[in-house]
Structure 1
Amino acid sequence: MAVSKSTLSIVFIVLGGLSVLFGTVLVFVGPIIIDDQIVKNVEINPSNGLSYTMWKDIPVPFFMSVYFLHIVNPNEILNGEKPTVVQRGPYVYRENRWKDNITFHDNHTVSYKEYRQYFFEESMSVGDESDVVTIPNMLVLGASVMMENMPLPVRLLLSTAFKSFNEGPFLTKPVGELMWGYDSKLVDFLNKYFPGMLPTSGKFGLFAEFNNSNTGQFTVFTGQDDIRKVHMVDSWNGLKSVDYWMSEQCNQINGTAGQMWPPFMTKESTMPFYSPDACRSMELVYQRPGVSRGIPVFRFVAPKTLFANGTDYPPNEGFCPCRQSGLLNVSTCRHNSPVFISHPHFFEADPVLLDTVNGLSPNEEEHGLFIDIHPETGVPMNVSIRLQLNLLIKRVFGISETGKIAEVVMPMIWFEESGYIDGPVLNTFRTNLVVLPMVMEYMQYSFIGLGLAGILGAMMLYLSDKVKSRMVGQPCTDVDPSSSACEKTPLLQTPTS
């Protein structure tokens, strides 16, 4: 039995209307469903496998690349000439991080300690840990600046100790020893007569206190009561603020622990985090959108004001005593050692700093700090944190080891901590939090488009049927005689006689 066009048009209108209605409902309900899925996936909850595993064990490749700024003219520096350095490296270390002592609290916070271990990756390095480089001897030049204002007899005693233990102003040692420590009788002497001066009582090395250590006890919000607070630090080592700096604002512990951030970020958002290694909170700002391994991201970078001095940026006055912009004085949290943090090669620092050292060539691609983050979830896709360690060196009267050294902030090493989501974790993340929401978004517009197309087709079918019906029965003089709508009238027959 044939179905009339009118019946078909009614069926198409009903189906099209339902499709438009369903698509319209998805437009309003879809984002709510997607956001709810994101919230469930990013809160710190042991019952949530994906997010909790990423937070607890960080199952992604993470590396620390170390570059030494090898001194090529140590004798000339002692005579007051400008230092010249040559970059050596990178010496790459695979970094294992995991959280332990995880304790959940009733106020929707969780406490933990994060541990870290480093393993040398020769295949990724340019050189080996046996490579010999020359850098300033922090035990001599650092201690000399620290003792600058002590009575002359104390400075003379210190200089005598340097000679007794055969310690000079510069160290020429293998990379492995400079990194992870070497035995020093001078360390034992300083710990005995100047307790608290050094951070270690064992081997002395630039990263000796980092390996097989933790970053202190963090207490962060789980986000289970308010997703806007997830990963935000409630306290560090039981403290709401530190006492390293000169102002209340600079001492505040703000932001996250530096691994994940709250979801639903916009271009106006910032990325605050507290760094125990830098002894302060820092904040990154939006730079541009991008794509990382098929996932849309926002790139956040360090603002030029991050290491600006108090003159160029008054809110940073609390981090002083300051030198040129581009340097952070961390002596107050590094046993008063004259140590400064900066961007590598003094990137975005006062040009005066570049004029004091030969061999530096800063540029954003190699020395800029950035985090590519998926804004909807607050999960970093690609991270590159780059910082440089510098030592203030100068002539100190009474300590002959300092010679005629001109006062200069001397770069020693810079390092890059980098990581990116890849492998099964990336696939799961992309499927659950990128592909499925995208499919739902496309579905809602597809249903609306198909519904409108169905309604339009039904209307065209209905109108064509009406036109055809109206034309049936009209005389052939009013329409095209060849038309099927032309009514054929039989000829009158003439009676025969």
Structure 2
Amino acid sequence: MKKRGTCICTGGCFTTSLVFLALAITIFVLIQVGFFKETLDNYIREQTTLEPGHETYKQWVNPTIPMYKDFFIFNLTNPKEFADGAKPKFDELGPYRYREIRQKTILNEANGTITYLMNRSFHFEHSSENNYTENDIITTINFAFVTAVYNAQSFLKKTALQALIETVRPKPELLIKTSVHELLWDYTDPLLKRLHWARQIDTPHIYLQLNNSYSDRALPSMVHSGTVDSKETAQFIEWAGLKQLPYWKNEANFINASTSGIIWHSLMEKDEKLEAFISDVNRTFHIHYQEEVSVEGIDAYRFRVEDSDFRPDSNYHTDNSTPVGLIFLGVLQKPVAPVFGSKPHFLDCDPSLYNAVEGVSPPDRNRHDVVVDIEPITGASINVHLRLQINVNVTKTSFPFFPSFRHVTPVIFPMFYLDEHATIDDGLKSKLNEMVFVPLTAVNSSIWVVFGLCCFISLLTGLCTLRWCIKLYRLRDRQHPERIRLLDKTDS
């Protein structure tokens, strides 16, 4: 009876050891072939699509992460000398900070697409760190006057414009003094009002920035939700009713495959070429991987704008003589204006642009480049700095037309630059942890814990099997002592 019990224990331990060894091998094989990784990846793809109830969807519709738009104004400090032909000299004022509120109104969701209306508004924030206010008076170029002169190309148009200027009081000058608020959001003057009265322009106001009246608010836009193909999450199908822009003559016109730069598809790879459509300038930019960074303790991939996106191209009034680093933005104004965009402080521009001005600090890539830091698992932008400088091309005009322009030295005149930025806060960081990082860590840890437990049990029961086998062998010898005597005689 004792021998039978020992046999049962030996067999049970051996069977248990084999079962857990098989489980350990199975788990190891599944890990090696990527079964668990693919399962987790599918979970991430599902959770990061724009589907009602998902955190990604909530953040896309109504972002809780604080978003700001900082303006840095170039205040001209030598207006008389500049008008007489000297280099312009500036003081940089700012930041003038505005809190940006984004809100989408969902119109329709069907077949993996979302149709919506976009509303953005900006609210000035007073800061205890500086004394800047929207009422600060600055000296800058008369954007309206320069634009009017720019459009008076022929002798007949110049004559007509000069005659109209004679009726304006006070007469327009090359330079103006205005408040920061008026410059950015709602600039008008007697010349603009007279041009509007003469039906030369559609409105007596210039909006270098728009507040609560974006064109993408009036017409619906459409994006992929990612539920059909997660790679297409948040990519535009249409923007403001357009499938392609009418402004450019290169790839900047295409909005499909681009996002707004805030949310991307999940499981990002370093070698991906991404496209961001920036509605401020109605243009698509290409961004590429630069380096790995850490933002608030979260690992991220840093992307920056392709240098080729800030190169002269064949659109409208740019040609091979246009300095490197400028993109023509005049087509966004009505009438067309001599406005160029660049990176702040002429970063990555032809050195002649920076050397033509004084008082502007040297460009700094950390403070003046376009940066998008993407958390690669979820595809969320956790640190964004979309930076752009607005410049006006000031040129001479021949006498007797427009004497204010008679002596000025031709220059790309910087007016201001903006930094639209957002960085992950504690609230969104907690939600990311809850939604992705904690579950992933728990599942990965559990898999290896189960693998290790199976190996341990298999080893332990294997040792027990060996122990019971030894015991069974000794028990057999005690039950048959004649075998021991026979063995002893044989040895002798």
TM-score by length of 2: 0.85
- The one-letter amino acid paired with 2:268 is M
Q: Rate the CA distance shift 1:280–1:34 in 2: closer, same or farther, 3 A.
A: same
User: Contact 1:6 / 1:465 at 8 angstroms: preserved in 2?
Assistant: no
Deviations 1:40-83 (A, max 9, x none): 2222222x241221111111100011100111111111111111
Deviations 1:336-374 (A, max 9, x none): 111111100011111111111112310111101111112
* Equivalent in 253, 256, 260 of residue 255 of structure 2: 253
Q: Rate the CA distance shift 1:161–1:276 in 2: closer, same or farther, 3 A.
A: farther
User: Contact 1:95 / 1:118 at 8 angstroms: preserved in 2?
Assistant: yes
Distance of 2:439 and 2:299 partners within structure 1: 14
1:329 is aligned to 328
Partner-residue secondary structure (3-state), 2:310? coil
Partner-residue secondary structure (3-state), 1:442? helix
Deviations 1:242-282 (A, max 9, x none): 221234x4432231233312222211112202223222211
Q: Rate the CA distance shift 1:180–1:317 in 2: closer, same or farther, 3 A.
A: closer
1:494 is aligned to none
**Given the alignment of the two structures, is residue 215 of structure 1 paired with residue 216 of structure 2, yes or no?**
yes
Distance of 2:440 and 2:222 partners within structure 1: 32
Distance of 1:366 and 1:77 partners within structure 2: 28
Distance of 1:239 and 1:394 partners within structure 2: 35
Deviations 1:463-487 (A, max 9, x none): 566678879999xxxxxxxxxxxxx
Q: CA deviation at 1:449?
A: 2.7
2:246 is aligned to 243
User: Contact 2:300 / 2:374 at 8 angstroms: preserved in 1?
Assistant: yes
User: Contact 2:216 / 2:239 at 8 angstroms: preserved in 1?
Assistant: no
Q: Rate the CA distance shift 1:215–1:258 in 2: closer, same or farther, 3 A.
A: farther
- The one-letter amino acid paired with 2:430 is N
User: Contact 1:67 / 1:87 at 8 angstroms: preserved in 2?
Assistant: yes
Q: CA deviation at 1:325?
A: 1.1
Structure 2 counterparts to residues 140-289 of structure 1, below 5 A: 140-151=145-156, 152-161=158-167, 164-196=169-201, 200-202=203-205, 204-207=206-209, 209-213=210-214, 215-216=216-217, 217-247=220-250, 249-254=251-256, 255-289=258-292
User: Contact 2:298 / 2:375 at 8 angstroms: preserved in 1?
Assistant: yes
Partner-residue secondary structure (3-state), 2:216? strand
1:370 is aligned to 371
1:80 is aligned to 85
Q: Rate the CA distance shift 1:92–1:452 in 2: closer, same or farther, 3 A.
A: same
Moved more, 454-463 or 384-393: 454-463
CA RMSD of aligned residues (A): 2.9
Q: CA deviation at 1:317?
A: 3.5
Percent identity between the two aligned chains: 24
Deviations 1:282-329 (A, max 9, x none): 1111111222233321111112212012xxxxxx43475241111000
1:36 is aligned to 42
Q: CA deviation at 1:131?
A: 2.2
Q: Rate the CA distance shift 1:472–1:302 in 2: closer, same or farther, 3 A.
A: same
Q: Rate the CA distance shift 1:468–1:170 in 2: closer, same or farther, 3 A.
A: farther
1:399 is aligned to 402
- The one-letter amino acid paired with 1:358 is E
Distance of 2:214 and 2:249 partners within structure 1: 28
Distance of 1:149 and 1:264 partners within structure 2: 56
Query: Which ranges of structure 1 fall in alignment gaps of 5 or more residues?
Result: 310-315, 475-497
User: Contact 1:30 / 1:440 at 8 angstroms: preserved in 2?
Assistant: no
2:95 is aligned to 90
Aligned length, in residue pairs: 461
- The one-letter amino acid paired with 2:19 is V
* Equivalent in 126, 140, 143 of residue 122 of structure 1: 126
- The one-letter amino acid paired with 1:356 is A
Deviations 1:114-143 (A, max 9, x none): 111111111266322232221111012232
Distance of 1:267 and 1:415 partners within structure 2: 28
**Given the alignment of the two structures, is residue 317 of structure 1 paired with residue 314 of structure 2, yes or no?**
yes
Distance of 1:63 and 1:269 partners within structure 2: 28
Distance of 2:74 and 2:340 partners within structure 1: 15
Query: Which ranges of structure 2 fall in alignment gaps of 5 or more residues?
Result: 478-492
Distance of 2:150 and 2:317 partners within structure 1: 17
Q: Rate the CA distance shift 1:52–1:440 in 2: closer, same or farther, 3 A.
A: same
- The one-letter amino acid paired with 2:103 is W
- The one-letter amino acid paired with 2:85 is G
- The one-letter amino acid paired with 1:451 is C
Distance of 2:432 and 2:426 partners within structure 1: 10
User: Contact 1:299 / 1:370 at 8 angstroms: preserved in 2?
Assistant: yes
User: Contact 2:252 / 2:285 at 8 angstroms: preserved in 1?
Assistant: no
Q: CA deviation at 1:375?
A: 1.7
Distance of 1:205 and 1:439 partners within structure 2: 52
- The one-letter amino acid paired with 1:433 is V
Q: CA deviation at 1:5?
A: 7.7
1:313 is aligned to none
User: Contact 1:218 / 1:235 at 8 angstroms: preserved in 2?
Assistant: yes
User: Contact 1:91 / 1:125 at 8 angstroms: preserved in 2?
Assistant: no
- The one-letter amino acid paired with 2:371 is F
- The one-letter amino acid paired with 2:93 is R
Q: Rate the CA distance shift 1:395–1:384 in 2: closer, same or farther, 3 A.
A: same
Q: Rate the CA distance shift 1:368–1:105 in 2: closer, same or farther, 3 A.
A: same
Distance of 1:7 and 1:246 partners within structure 2: 77
Distance of 2:212 and 2:58 partners within structure 1: 23
